[in-house]
């Protein structure tokens, strides 16, 4: 699964091929085209709310369905936090509602103290025997783990289905992965790349088109990559480290990408629309998801070795802005963004931080190994620690998305 954007070279402007499936890429220099603030706002808010609402609904529905299958009593299913705006109660007693702050959601089980899943031990102790059997806290540790894991898994499944459907429905524009020119003194020249080389794979990811090669290089600034190629029919493997370069897209956003200094001349006859079969599309979609997960992990890992760039970290404000920008590119681009965000939210929720699904899983894993749950005091300390981390991250991303971003654009 690859985007329908193709470069004449790794340093040139991408050519937009409408209707191609894939994820929006950050590589390639685009012409700057600044939208009026009112138009940005017009697109950003509805697009952001639509994308986030769908992703949150999918995530929470994963929790809800597995909980229901395990006979767990559910008090509320909410899209958003804070006061209820509108809602209804179903015949099982579950309150379905839209809440005032549309920045997330939750499934609250009977016996929970709050939407974060902290048990209300007094309410649990006072529950009658029939209700007690349906309380989340009284289910086996494996059932609880399944319920918690279901949210992130639902996000992953949703991402797969969206990308798979787009790939089958629209196909992908592709260009033969053959190098036309290597710039003198460039990273590629020093590594030994030559005109006529046909790229086969990068870091184990197969390269079907030049756009694959372009993206794999662009998303690895200052990180060594292994390039497998064919030269005159003979296999050859080279290692190189793309140079980090800042580019500006047509919306005025800056991105840090990798460049190696090769060109690929594009003729209209070179670009083809490829439609994979149903079986091959499964493989391509899974490979795309693996690529996103790996690059996300590498991006986060860069902060532990001093290579991280805080300008690339974004919170709700940045996501809203990007959603509005992508919405101007069409429905397919917005659906692609939604799939990418769904995958990232699923991964983020698996981090072993109390308050997140991964933190709950860590507690239950401890219980499964030790044969007894972690003490109530330690769990409460963990939730407070997790709350501090999540709030700190939200404050930082808000500061980065607003004040720091304004200073960067002003300078």
Q: So which residues are the catalytic ones?
A: 60
CA pair distance 121, 142, nearest whole angstrom: 20
- Specify the residue for token string 């670009």: 271
Euclidean distance between the first and the last CA atom of the chain, given in angstroms as a whole number: 37
Could you tell me which of 98, 93, 97 has the C-alpha nearest to residue 74?
A: 93
Could you tell me which of 97, 103, 108 has the C-alpha nearest to residue 64?
A: 108
Report whether 360 contacts 309 (CB < 8 A): no
Could you tell me which of 29, 13, 6, 27 has the C-alpha nearest to residue 221?
A: 27
CA pair distance 176, 270, nearest whole angstrom: 7
Q: What is the largest CA-CA distance in the chain?
A: 78
DSSP 178: B
Could you tell me which of 214, 162, 159 has the C-alpha nearest to residue 4?
A: 214
Q: Is the dihedral of CA 329, 334, 335, 341 positive or negative?
A: positive
319: left (phi over 0), alpha (psi -120 to 50) or beta: alpha
65: part of which helix (H) or strand (E)? helix 37-69
Report whether 240 contacts 260 (CB < 8 A): yes
114: left (phi over 0), alpha (psi -120 to 50) or beta: beta
Which residues lie across from 238 on neighbouring strands? Answer: 227
Q: Strand, helix or coil at 163?
A: helix
- Specify the residue for token string 């289905």: 161
Q: Strand, helix or coil at 165?
A: helix
388: part of which helix (H) or strand (E)? helix 376-399
CA pair distance 187, 242, nearest whole angstrom: 7
Residues 6+ apart with CB under 8 A from 158: 55, 58, 339, 342
């Amino acid at each position: 699964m690859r985007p329908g954007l193709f470069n004449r070279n790794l340093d040139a402007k991408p050519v937009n091929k409408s209707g191609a499936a894939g994820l929006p890429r950050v590589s390639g220099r685009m012409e700057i085209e600044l939208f009026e603030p009112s138009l940005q706002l017009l697109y950003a808010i509805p697009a952001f709310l639509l994308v986030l609402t769908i992703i949150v609904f999918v995530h929470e529905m994963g929790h809800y369905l597995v909980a229901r299958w395990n006979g767990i009593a559910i008090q509320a299913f909410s899209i958003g936090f804070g006061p209820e705006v509108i809602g209804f109660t179903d015949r099982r007693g579950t309150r379905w509602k839209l809440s005032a702050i549309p920045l997330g959601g939750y499934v609250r089980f009977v016996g929970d103290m709050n939407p974060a899943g902290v048990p209300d031990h007094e309410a649990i102790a006072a529950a009658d025997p029939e209700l007690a059997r349906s309380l989340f806290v009284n289910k086996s540790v494996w059932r609880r783990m399944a319920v918690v894991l279901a949210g992130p898994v639902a996000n992953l499944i949703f991402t797969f289905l969206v990308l798979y459907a787009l790939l089958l429905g629209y196909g992908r524009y592709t260009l033969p992965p053959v190098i036309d020119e290597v710039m003198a003194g460039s990273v590629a020249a020093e590594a030994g790349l030559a005109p006529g080389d046909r790229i086969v794979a990068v870091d184990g990811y197969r390269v079907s088109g030049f756009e694959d090669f372009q993206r794999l290089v662009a998303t690895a600034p200052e990180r060594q990559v292994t390039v497998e190629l064919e030269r005159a029919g003979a296999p050859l493997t080279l290692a190189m480290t793309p140079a980090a370069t800042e580019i500006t897209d047509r919306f005025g956003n800056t991105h840090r990408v990798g460049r190696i200094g090769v060109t690929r001349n594009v003729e209209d006859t070179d670009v083809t629309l490829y439609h994979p079969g149903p079986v091959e599309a499964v493989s391509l979609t899974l490979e795309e998801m693996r690529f996103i997960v790996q690059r996300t992990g590498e991006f986060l890992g860069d902060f532990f070795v001093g290579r991280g760039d805080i300008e690339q970290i974004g919170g709700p404000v940045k996501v809203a802005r990007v959603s509005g920008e992508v919405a101007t590119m069409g429905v397919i681009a917005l659906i692609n963004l939604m799939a990418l965000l769904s995958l990232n939210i699923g991964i983020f929720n698996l981090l072993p931080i109390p308050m997140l699904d991964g933190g709950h899983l860590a507690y239950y894993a401890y219980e499964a190994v030790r044969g007894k749950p972690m003490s109530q005091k330690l769990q409460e300390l963990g939730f407070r620690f997790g709350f501090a981390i999540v709030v700190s991250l939200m404050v930082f991303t808000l500061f980065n998305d607003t004040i720091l971003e304004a200073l960067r654009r002003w300078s």
